[in-house]
Amino acid sequence: MTEHIFLPGIALQQGFIHPDYELYLKTWCEEAIQRAENGDIAVSICHQATLIDLVLYGKPRHDWLGIMDEFLMDNGTPLAYSEAFGKRLHKYDNQYHQSTIHAIHTRWWIERLNDETSVDHDRFANLVLAKKQPDGLIYDRDVSETILRHRMKSELTISMAMSAEILQAANKLNGNTAVELATNISSPTKCPILGYISMEYFRLKTLRLLGHESLFPVGIEEHIEACAEDLPVGWCDFAIKSKVDAYMGTVKRTQRDKPIHSPLIACYVSSLLTKIQDATTRLIFSQRFNAYTCHLKGNPQDITAFLMRDIPIPFGIDRTPIEVICASFLIKQCQN
């Protein structure tokens, strides 16, 4: 069974994509291939295109490794963006030339899909260990020097989860390494509980990979409940009312934002339910989860984009390959 750390419990195999999404995925992939032929590519595109290949055809069909070799490598180091892609980013100049943990993990994951036996796990492990910071966490400080207090905490736990998965494959979680990483990702000062569902899913995933799940903080049910407020179905990644501007110290700039439900976040909630001790609370959330799967079954196109305040332009796109894959998975879970 092929899986990816971003998609908990989802077997990436042919045959489960909902018919309403097939044309979108095929079109998305064809457009990515056309741009890649001109060197206009990012590692996130290679990642999502490979996911599409797996769920539509059961195996990688396009040579994304070859694309990465040509446009997304620098002396053996995976890059996040090609030069042509970087030129499309406003005032990005030479900043496109960066190696991120996601780029390293994606290259490692796709290499494993192509030939597990030929992957040099030690090489990838050394690349992520080179990003280990004095604070004991692993993240892309070489890409952005933003101080720890102002870094997105979801970035920290996602980076740690991807790094831990690579380190586990390379057998480098021996001795004090696993304990050190687990202690730091559980630290209330370095990674405080902020109510982001995605952040807590990746914290839990990291601790499981490290063998220290018991360090997962208590009280996740309060945040899951808050992320459902003002939504008829599903969950948002965070509670809108908790958002404040870090520099202005006020909710003024975020008070008119609206929550949206997300198939991806629903999958993360499902993984977090095991950490809820109270059976009644767990049942309530499980019922809401089932109601959301059935809502998607009846309304497969109801995947919306985030809107900021009174600006009519979506903040980002609505459907993405990852959201569509999650939606297809959820629809099959509907018990009605």
What is the tens place of the pLDDT at every residue in 104-134? 999 999 999 999 899 999 999 999 999 999 9
CA-wise closest residue to 160 among 188, 183, 176: 183
Going by C-beta distance under 8 Å and a sequence separation of 6 or more, which residues neighbour residue 268?
Answer: 8, 197, 198, 200, 201
pLDDT in tens, 170-187: 999 988 999 999 999 999
pLDDT band per the 50, 70, 90 thresholds, residue 248: very low
pTM beyond 0.95: no
Q: What is the pLDDT at residue 189? A: 92
Calculate mean pLDDT across residues 288-307.
90
For the stretch 50-87, what's the b/e string if a residue is b when 16 or more beta carbons lie within 10 angstroms of its beta carbon? bbbbbbbeeebebebbebbeebbeeeeebbbbbeebbe
Euclidean distance between CA atoms 322 and 325, whole angstroms: 5
Q: What is the pLDDT at residue 252? A: 47
Going by C-beta distance under 8 Å and a sequence separation of 6 or more, which residues neighbour residue 265?
Answer: 197, 198, 227, 234, 235, 236, 237
Calculate mean pLDDT across residues 90-107.
84
Euclidean distance between CA atoms 250 and 147, whole angstroms: 21
More confident residue, 172 or 152: 172
Q: What is the pLDDT at residue 10? A: 95
How distant, in Å, are the alpha carbons of 6, 114, 129, 262, 270 from that of 117?
A: 23, 9, 22, 36, 33
Calculate mean pLDDT across residues 294-305.
92
pLDDT band per the 50, 70, 90 thresholds, residue 241: confident
Determine how β-strand 77-78 pairs with β-strand 73-74: antiparallel
Q: What is the pLDDT at residue 207? A: 98
pLDDT in tens, 6-31: 999 999 999 889 999 999 999 999 99
